Structure 1
Amino acid sequence: MALGDTLRGSRLGALLGARAPAGDAAIAAAALRSDRFRQEREGDWKRLDAIVTRIEQGRLRSLSDEDLLALPVLYRTVASSLSVARETSLDAATLAYLEALVQRAWFQVYGPRQGLGRWLLRFLGGGWSRAVREIWPDLLITLALMVAGAFVGWKLCAADPSWYFTLFPAEGDPRVPGAGQAVLRASLFGQSQQNGLAAFAAYLFSHNAQISILAFALGFAFGIPSLLLAIQNTATLGAMLWLFHSQALLPDLIGWLSVHGTTELFAILLAAAAGLHIGRAFAFPGDLPVLEAAARAGRRASTVMAGVVLMLVVAAMLEGFARQLLDATGPRLVVGLSMLVFWLWYFFAFRRDPGALR
């Protein structure tokens, strides 16, 4: 039913239902006031209704530039009309119509532009990989320091084995300097029948997520804490590599670590680089104001971090299940290298434009 018919029908019903002459006069005055109010503003209401209806029907491209530019102005105008209608207690039909129209228009002006499914498609279909490529200087800096951290961890333990306990303070862990080859080998193989893999995966996800989120969150301090966390992580890795190398088990350890490590270390690399990206924006904003530069870097880094959470879930599943179920170095290396190739391809070779996904 048209707006005019709805309003006239409402006023007619109210007039017919009134019995007392005084009531008739009051209702007639209210109807006249409502009629004048509607006539003065009805053009804007109908235009906004037509624009919103076409958008809801998926015909956005058919709208003219004038209509698109007028949409937010008309929304505010109709919202003002609704406020006046409530203040002056106009008839219920007018209020109901305006409330529905304002709600529909608000969704088109301020509401989300896409659902979760479409956002996820755009995110995985190029948005995430593009954000990673955009922080490539930070990735190179972080990668260099992580490699240096592993090298330093190895060298410190080789010069003085007591450094191992500083870098790897795991009380009760049999993997310590002086442990025999059989002890170290037992920590790598023969665990395919152990129980509680799901709980172990959940613990690993929680632990690695805390490290990654902390590395990202501390980026505002010019990225220095983010880099220190990344270096500390790989220094621990270097200490473990040294220990197993001392017992001629380095290839087996690399296979054991690679199943989940290529994904997990990549995620930590991205998290620390995202934190550094924000820190660099604070320290070197360029031609932009500091807050604007930091806001832009923050949006880019937050996109990267959303993907880091997904990578950590994958790493936890690989560490909690695949690594334990594969009980030989060869298959473990195949899985680990396959994951590394996949991530490199996705981030640096997969260049689909997310804007092309509709």
Structure 2
Amino acid sequence: MALPFFRSAEIEPPADIEAASLRSDRFRLEREVDWQRLEAIVVALEKGRPGRISDEDLLDLPVLYRKTASSLAVARETSLDAATLSYLEALVRRAWFQIYGPRIGLFGWLRRFLGGGWSTSVREIWLDICISLAVMVAGTAVGWLLVARDQDWFYALVPGEMAGGRIPGADRAVLEQSLAQTENAEGLTVFAAYLFSNNTGVTIMAFALGFAFGIPTLLLLVYNTALLGAMLYVFADAGLGLDFLGWLSVHGTTELGAIMLGGAAGLHVGRTMAFPGERSILAAMQDAGIRAAQVMAGCTIMLIVAGLLEGYARQLVGDTTSRLAIGGGMLLFWAVYFAFVKRPPEHDA
């Protein structure tokens, strides 16, 4: 690739501009052989053809990169022409990626992520998880107590379309029918997709609201679990509390776990903003943001699993004992995974 160079032959430039141009020309002529060698190596690497690189060029690659980076630093300090400066910036950036850039592909990243990266990030925000869990338990209790005290609270907490006839004082047979097994999975795909979308929205909101120092996240968690507590009261009042828990547990241990982690990630960011410690807020936020992003990426996987369980397993498994076994098994799986799967060593990536 020819180096960019622009000069006008029609207009006689002032002396200072001409001197700067001559200085730029001299600077470039002294170094452009190394630049062109580096660019040829980078192009070969970008095209996936390292075999076309000579042994001499390959051995000189680190030296050529350092020389070009040094040239870029000088060009910036001496305000050389913009074309040369742009060329060097692009070349150094491309060379850096080929020399120092990540060598891990999608499957390698996924293996590291599931093999300990995600679980390690979850353990690192254990305090925020404890806060999130406590708030969710408190919200469930609040929903139960409010409806037990005044059933009008149920209609304030639970949207009509979600209640679907499962309201205080409903006939036991109606409530049992809402928990009944579905004979086949036809039409459940759309239902699962809807529930996945809804649960994803709640989790993302719980995370995003954490940037307001975590307070809106806490309120969102309280509201969503108060809704759960209100619904639980309705079934318990009809003598179907255990059946409702079994019906819910199939997907609930995974879904509520994802919401809890999403809320904890948001709280972690908000708490770091409020209490950065001895670090600057920017440095503290950078670390917290990376950790929270890891947790949220894992929440997406949990929500996909919850959507499948909610749309299929919950509808196709009828008895309460089996449902509780599925829900309890999923809870045990997530607990063991987050507690014991360690981050792999860097050199194994």
TM-score strictly above 0.5 = yes
Q: Does 1:319 align with 2:296?
A: no
Aligned CA distance change for structure 1 residues 85 and 187 (closer, same or farther; 3 Å): same
Match of 1:207 among 190, 194, 198: 198
Alignment of 1:17-56 (within 5 A): 42=33
Q: State the AA in 1 paired with 2:295.
A: V
Counterpart amino acid of residue 167 in structure 2: V
Per-residue CA deviation, residues 161-182 of structure 1 (Å, 9 max, x unaligned), is: 1111111122471100111111
Distance 1:138 1:266, change over 3 A: same
**Cα gap change, 1:54 to 1:176, in 2 (>3 Å):** closer
Measure, in 2, the Cα distance between the counterparts of 1:87 and 1:241.
69
Indicate conservation of the 8 Å contact 2:167/2:234, yes or no.
yes
Preserved CA contact (<8 Å) 2:112 2:343: no
Contact preservation (8 Å) 1:48, 1:75: no
The DSSP-based 3-state class of the residue aligned with 2:184 is coil
Tell me what 2:280 maps to. Answer: 289
Aligned to 1:261: 252
Q: Deviations over 1:196-215 (max 9, x none)?
A: 11111110111011111111
Question: Structure 1 pair 278/102, CA: closer, same or farther in 2 (3 Å)?
Answer: closer
Alignment of 1:155-194 (within 5 A): 155-171=145-161, 173-193=164-184
* 1:137 corresponds to: 127
The alignment covers a number of residue pairs equal to 310
Question: What is the TM-score normalised by the length of structure 2?
Answer: 0.77
What is the rounded CA distance, in whole Å, between the counterparts of 1:228 and 1:255 in structure 2? 27
Say yes or no: does 1:122 pair with 2:112.
Answer: yes
- 1:20 corresponds in structure 2 to none
Question: Greater Rg, structure 1 or structure 2?
Answer: 1
Counterparts of 1:75 and 1:323, CA distance in 2: 62
Match of 1:76 among 69, 73, 82: 69
Is it true that 1:350 corresponds to 2:338 in the alignment?
no
Q: 1:53 to 1:175 in 2, by over 3 A?
A: same
Q: Which amino acid aligns with 1:325?
A: L
Which 5+ residue runs of structure 1 have no aligned equivalent? 1-33, 58-66, 89-94
Q: Report the Cα distance in structure 2 between the residues aligned to 1:68 and 1:103, rounded to whole angstroms.
A: 14
Query: Partners in 2 of 1:75 and 1:232 — Cα distance?
Result: 58
Amino acid at match of 1:300: R
Query: Which residues of 2 match residues 83-94 of structure 1 at below 5 A?
Result: none
Opposite residue 164 of structure 1, the aligned amino acid is F
Partner of 1:148: 138
Q: Which amino acid in 1 is paired with 2:325?
A: V
Give the whole-Å Cα distance in 2 for the aligned partners of 1:234 and 1:101: 54
Residues 71 and 40 of structure 1: is their aligned pair in 2 closer, same or farther, counting only changes over 3 Å?
closer
- Kindly provide the CA deviation profile for residues 145-190 of structure 1, in whole angstroms up to 9, marking residues without a partner as x: 1111111111111111111111112247110011111110000013
Q: 1:40 to 1:313 in 2, by over 3 A?
A: closer
Aligned partner of residue 169 in structure 2, secondary structure = coil
Distance 1:40 1:267 in 2: 56
CA distance in 1, matches of 2:71, 2:183: 67
% same residue: 51
Partner of 2:319: 328
Verify the 8 A CA contact 2:117 2:342 in the aligned structure 1: no
Residues 296 and 205 of structure 1, relative CA distance in 2, 3 Å threshold: same
1:8 alignment partner in structure 2? none
Deviation of residue 116 (structure 1)? Answer: 1.4
CA distance in 2, matches of 1:132, 1:165: 36
CA distance in 2 between partners of 1:160 and 1:182 (Å):
23
| Selected match of 1:304 from 287, 295, 305 | 295
Question: How far does residue 50 in structure 1 lie from its aligned partner after superposition?
Answer: 7.9
Kindly provide the amino acid, as one letter, of the partner of residue 323 in structure 1: R
Q: TM-score, normalised by structure 1?
A: 0.75
CA pair 128-194 structure 1, distance change in 2 beyond 3 A: closer
Aligned partners of 1:147, 1:107: CA distance in 2, in Å? Answer: 48
Alpha-carbon separation, structure 1, partners of 2:28 and 2:291:
48
Counterpart of 2:293 in 1: which secondary structure? helix
Amino acid aligned to 2:196: F
Question: What is the aligned counterpart of 2:227 among 210, 233, 236?
Answer: 236
Amino acid at match of 2:306: A
